[in-house]
Structure 1
Amino acid sequence: MQKPQTQAKLPFQPLLLIAPFFFWGTAMVAMKGVIPHTTPFFMAGVRLVPAGVLVLLAGLLSGRPQPKGWQAWLWISIFGFVDATLFQGFLAQGLVRTSAGLGSVMIDSQPLAVAILSLWLFQETIGFWGWLGLAIGLIGISLIGLPDDWILGLFNSELLTTSADFTQLFNSGEWLMLLAALSMAVGTVLVRWVCRYADPVMGTGWHMIIGGLPLFGLSALLETQQWQNIDLSGWVAMGYSTIFGSAISYGLFFYFASSGSLTSLSSLTFLTPVFALFFGNLFLQEVLSSLQSMGVGLTLVSIYLVNQRDTLAEKLKIKRSKDLAPSQPETNVLQPAEGNSVELPIEIKEIETS
């Protein structure tokens, strides 16, 4: 059995804790910048397979065991198809039709789907704050994904229901990003079965390779001019997405997760779309509509509520306990400002009676 790792204090640890989410958010911007010069499936494969090789090399150098047995490889293959092939495929295709910042918000709505799947599969309750977050997230995603005309039409009693409107809706990048988020959520649930039969880091590396190879196959069958139009800056962007946005991000994530910082990582999930929105506006001049901006804000609030539901519930419980605590009975002992009791000497004389 592998010995549990002890948590070592790393230099600049707070920055390293935020780094995976910074890399994931900025990788969306880098991928969006290079997508006009390449093809979606090819870019998704490039992001997965080389990163998987790097993760495996890091796992081998750290002495992690290789997967053994057909059950391990079966679950890794299923994990790779859902979390790598489907997730990265939908993500790359969605980037063609939406902005990097908006796409990142849609992707990072996956904790909402994870909460529902966990409730259904593992009977994990999410409590009041969790349900409130899910409701707010549903409203936020609707504001982001639905056309503005549809939403404004609700207030004017004018619904657009033509076939062309529905075709535009389901061909939009936002819905592809939602499918990517759902794939990632299912993959997150599948990790529980993968970890029963394989080391999580080695399983992650192999699932990236196994899931990335079909994307190269789809690219060879359906796409042309995959790399001919990529210039030096494009290769740098793809390299950044592969090395920092995949390999290093996964490495840092699993390091902190294995050393007891999983709660901190979960609470930082909402930072990913914040970074993507900021750098998307800075480098790509991406601008959201007023309704989409409102939806982004609601989605970030919902993700925070779902991730921090236990902490918020505990704080509310403590506050209620203090409010319902019985008040202390009044005493005749004087309490000075310092909080120490004061004894007053009283002389009692006996009165003689005749």
Structure 2
Amino acid sequence: MNTKAFILALITVIIWSSSFVTIRVGLQGGYSPGHLILIRYLIASGMFIFYVFWPGVKFQLPKKGDLLRIVLLGWIGISIYHIGVTFGEKTVSAGTASMLIGSGPIFTALLAVFILKEKLGKWGWIGLSAGFIGIAVITLGTTGQSIDITKGVFYVLTAALAMSILFVYQKPMLKRYSSIELTAYFTWAGTLPLLIFFPGLLQNLQQATNEAHLSAIYSGIFPTAVGYVTWAIAMSEGKASSVSSMLYIEPVVAILLAWAWLDEWPSTISIIGGIIAISGVIVVNMKGKKQKIPLDEVA
């Protein structure tokens, strides 16, 4: 990973880590999960529309053959991901949610085995097993209070899987489109299904606190629009596996931000589970791969 890719990936991870906290702030400040997601993506979509019409900007339309993939990846990597994270954080702390999302590369490894026909050695399967044990331990540290907590964990894990699918399949498209173009396509496609949350939005906006409004605006600009662009650029500049490894530090940053901002700290059991899960991910990526088929070959 060259210096440019490293810096952009680091900036992205810090920005994305803050989103777990701002989501909690928005929810605690009066936003419903659906309205919070929608307002974030209306802001992000508007930013990209503004960019397209900025004088001197060259912006190509997607090719007909890529339209279906763009729409599907937008729905999966944007709509499903953010619905999972935001609804999950109704009952899961910001730090715990970030640890569960940090387990996303486990799903990426499984996708690589079954879709990319990548071979895992003994250490690979040990790492995957450790990762899923870690997820189970995180869940044990989160559940036990109400059935809603279990739903929250399920939502966040669904988001982690959606994120993995987006990361696996967007890489080859970066050869045909710029990072900003591709992020704009995904954002617009992912915003459309979120319009189901439009009823009641204006009333919700009137009821939410100023802090919640500021967190929603921040989330729409930085983690939603800027973060995906910087990540796409980092992915185009470096190897996908190397760049993705930067996600290992995301839970650490998110936990510290949640502690400083919300005075919120995951349970000891959840932290232990997070360490086990992310250690398993590291084992898979560092020692577990016998044969790697480049992501560029995913057509």
Aligned to 1:271: 249
CA displacement 1:146-169 (0-9 Å, x = unmatched): 36788xxxxxxxxxxxxxx9x827
1:232 CA drift (Å): 2.5
Look up the equivalent residue of 1:88 and give its one-letter code.
Answer: H
Of 51, 54, 68 in structure 2, the residue corresponding to residue 74 of structure 1 is 68
**CA separation of 1:16 and 1:199: change in aligned 2, threshold 3 A:** closer
Aligned to 2:273: 295
Of 147, 163, 175 in structure 1, the residue corresponding to residue 154 of structure 2 is 175
Look up the equivalent residue of 2:62 and give its one-letter code.
Answer: P
Does the aligned pair in 2 maintain the 1:28–1:100 contact within 8 Å?
A: yes
CA displacement 1:298-344 (0-9 Å, x = unmatched): 1221222233337x989xxxxxxxxxxxxxxxxxxxxxxxxxxxxxx
Does the aligned pair in 2 maintain the 1:101–1:280 contact within 8 Å?
A: yes
Aligned counterparts, 1:183-198, within 5 A? 183-191=162-170
**CA separation of 1:207 and 1:175: change in aligned 2, threshold 3 A:** same
**CA separation in 2, counterparts of 1:186 and 1:16?**
21
Of 125, 134, 137 in structure 2, the residue corresponding to residue 140 of structure 1 is 134
**Structure 1: tracts of 5 or more residues without a match:** 1-6, 151-164, 315-354
**CA separation in 2, counterparts of 1:147 and 1:257?**
34
Residue 254 of structure 1 pairs with residue 232 of structure 2 = yes
**CA separation of 1:148 and 1:96: change in aligned 2, threshold 3 A:** closer
Does the aligned pair in 2 maintain the 1:53–1:209 contact within 8 Å?
A: no
User: What is the TM-score normalised by the length of structure 1?
Assistant: 0.71
What is the SS of the residue equivalent to 2:206?
coil
**CA-atom RMSD, angstroms?**
3.1
**CA separation in 2, counterparts of 1:292 and 1:95?**
15
Of 305, 312, 323 in structure 1, the residue corresponding to residue 283 of structure 2 is 305
* Higher percent of residues as helix: 2
1:127 CA drift (Å): 2.9
Of 185, 188, 191 in structure 2, the residue corresponding to residue 206 of structure 1 is 185
CA displacement 1:183-213 (0-9 Å, x = unmatched): 2222333425755875554232122122112
Does the aligned pair in 2 maintain the 1:194–1:200 contact within 8 Å?
A: no
Q: Which is worse superposed, 58-67 or 104-113?
A: 58-67
Does the aligned pair in 2 maintain the 1:59–1:202 contact within 8 Å?
A: no
1:15 CA drift (Å): 4.9
CA displacement 1:62-121 (0-9 Å, x = unmatched): 64532121x222111111111111111111110111111101111121111111011101
Does the aligned pair in 2 maintain the 1:66–1:199 contact within 8 Å?
A: no
Count residues with an aligned counterpart: 287
Look up the equivalent residue of 2:127 and give its one-letter code.
Answer: G
**CA separation of 1:63 and 1:116: change in aligned 2, threshold 3 A:** same
What is the SS of the residue equivalent to 1:299?
helix
What is the SS of the residue equivalent to 1:248?
helix
Q: What's the % identity of the aligned pairs?
A: 24
Look up the equivalent residue of 2:60 and give its one-letter code.
Answer: P
Aligned counterparts, 1:87-106, within 5 A? 87-106=81-100
Does the aligned pair in 1 maintain the 2:41–2:187 contact within 8 Å?
A: yes
Does the aligned pair in 1 maintain the 2:16–2:227 contact within 8 Å?
A: yes
Aligned to 2:60: 65
Look up the equivalent residue of 2:252 and give its one-letter code.
Answer: V
Aligned counterparts, 1:1-354, within 5 A? 15-36=7-28, 37-55=30-48, 63-69=58-64, 71-146=65-140, 168=147, 171-191=150-170, 201-220=180-199, 225-260=203-238, 262-309=240-287
1:31 CA drift (Å): 1.1
**CA separation in 2, counterparts of 1:64 and 1:149?**
47
**CA separation in 2, counterparts of 1:193 and 1:174?**
31
Q: Which has the higher contact order (CA 8 A, sep 6+)?
A: 2
**CA separation of 1:191 and 1:272: change in aligned 2, threshold 3 A:** same
What is the SS of the residue equivalent to 1:291?
helix
CA displacement 1:259-279 (0-9 Å, x = unmatched): 236454222111111111111
**CA separation of 1:113 and 1:233: change in aligned 2, threshold 3 A:** same
Larger radius of gyration: 1
**CA separation in 2, counterparts of 1:191 and 1:251?**
12
Look up the equivalent residue of 2:256 and give its one-letter code.
Answer: F
Q: Which is worse superposed, 223-232 or 116-125?
A: 223-232
Does the aligned pair in 1 maintain the 2:15–2:227 contact within 8 Å?
A: yes
Look up the equivalent residue of 2:93 and give its one-letter code.
Answer: S
**CA separation of 1:225 and 1:306: change in aligned 2, threshold 3 A:** farther
1:14 CA drift (Å): 5.8
